[in-house]
Structure 1
Amino acid sequence: MTEPPVLLRDRLRAALPTALKARDRATASTLRATLAAIENAEAVDAGSARAGAIEASAVGIGVAEAARRELSEADVAAIVRAEIAEQERAAEVYDGAGHAEKAAELRAAAATLAAFLA
C-alpha cells in the first residue's frame, strides 16, 4: 500500500528542527518566515468583526473564536513561490546597490525554498 504524499507545509515544519539542530541560521530563518507567511494567509479577515455593546455580546467558551481558513496544497505552494519570488527580487535590488554578499544570501534562501517544491 502506498503512503499518501507528505504535505508541503509538513515538510517545511519538519525541516525547521533539523536546521536548528545543525545551527543553520539562514535556513531556519527562511523556514520560519515561510511558515509565518502560510499561517498569516490562514488568518481570518479582522475587518468583518465589529465591537458592540456588552449586553449584546455572545456569552460562553469559544464564542469569540473564528475558524481559520483552510489552505489547499496549491495555495501553500503558491505562497512558497511568492516567497521565492520576493527573495529573488530583493537579491536583484541588493545586486544593484553593490551588496553582492547579501544578494547571494537571498538567492540561497530562494534555492532552499525551491528545493521543497521540486
Structure 2
Amino acid sequence: MRTELRRGLTAAIKDRDRVAIAALRSALAAIENAEAVPVEQSQKVSGEHVAGAAVGLGAAEVERRHLTEDDVREIVAREVGERTASAAEYERLGRGDDADRLRAEADVLGGYLPTDR
C-alpha cells in the first residue's frame, strides 16, 4: 500500500492536484512516524562532554520498526477517520470550504483502502 501511496503522490504532483498531494503526503508522514522507535529504546550513554550523548560512530543508529500491511491500512483508515471527523466539526462551525477540502482528502485516501473490510 505504501508503494501505491507514493505512486499516487507522484501522479498528484504531476497533475498539480493540491488536495491529493496534501492527503498523500500526510498519510505517508503518518506511516513514517509510526515506524519511529521510541526514545527510551535508543542507546544513550553518558559522554564526557554532553550528558546523554551517544558515543561512537553509529551508536545512535537504531533500526526502525517494521509495519505490516495491516498496520499501514490501519494508519490510512485512521487518517480518513480524522479528516471525516474534522470535516464534520468544520461544517458545524460554518467553515464549509475547509470541510469540503477535508472530505476530498478523505476520499483520496479512502480510494487506497480495500472495500472488503
TM-score normalised to structure 1 length: 0.85
Residue aligning to 1:44: 37
Paired residue total: 110
Residue aligning to 1:5: none
Find the aligned partners of 1:48 and 1:54 in 2 and give their Cα distance.
Answer: 21
Amino-acid identity (%):
41
| One of 67, 71, 95 as aligned partner of 2:91 | 95
SS at match of 1:117: coil
CA shift, 1:104, in A, is 1.1
> Is 1:35 aligned to residue 40 of structure 2?
no
Q: Which segment is superposed worse, 51-60 or 24-33? A: 51-60
| Paired residues for 1:63-78 under 5 Å | 63-78=59-74
For the aligned residues, what is the CA RMSD? 1.8
Per-residue displacement from partner, 1:31-85 (whole Å, max 9, x unpaired)? 001000000000010134444134996423x222000000000000000010000
Provide structure 1 residue ranges, at least 5 long, that are not aligned to the other structure.
1-7
Provide structure 2 residue ranges, at least 5 long, that are not aligned to the other structure.
none
**Once superposed, which parts of structure 1, at least 4 consecutive aligned residues long, lie more than 6 Å away?**
none
Find the aligned partners of 1:82 and 1:30 in 2 and give their Cα distance.
Answer: 12
Find the aligned partners of 2:61 and 2:12 in 1 and give their Cα distance.
Answer: 33
- Flag the 1:92–1:58 CA change in 2: closer, same or farther, 3 A: same
